A = this chain, B = another copy of it.
């Protein structure tokens, strides 16, 4: 089972990387862009056929390794 997860900076944490992308987009003529925030995306292939169990495992991984919960949030966005 393949689980997709995203890890993003919490709302109040500054995101300099996103800001640079924002400025670059504005410079390229995309003037309607108001904000860009960047995060990480993980595709985790787990040897587990039960969707719920696989998602629980992925959540555990996010908590223990993939996300720094002090400044980041994680979200399981899909499984297939």
Residues of A within 8 A of B (CB): 6-8, 18, 21, 24-25, 28, 30, 32-48, 57, 60-61, 64-66, 77
Contacts and interface: CB of A to CB of B under 8 A. Distances in A.
Contacts of A6: 6, 41
A38 B42 contact: yes
A39 B43 contact: yes
A8 to B, nearest CB: 7
A35 B45 contact: yes
Contact of A34 (B21, B32, B34, B45): B45
Contact of A32 (B38, B47, B64, B65): B47
B57 A24 contact: no
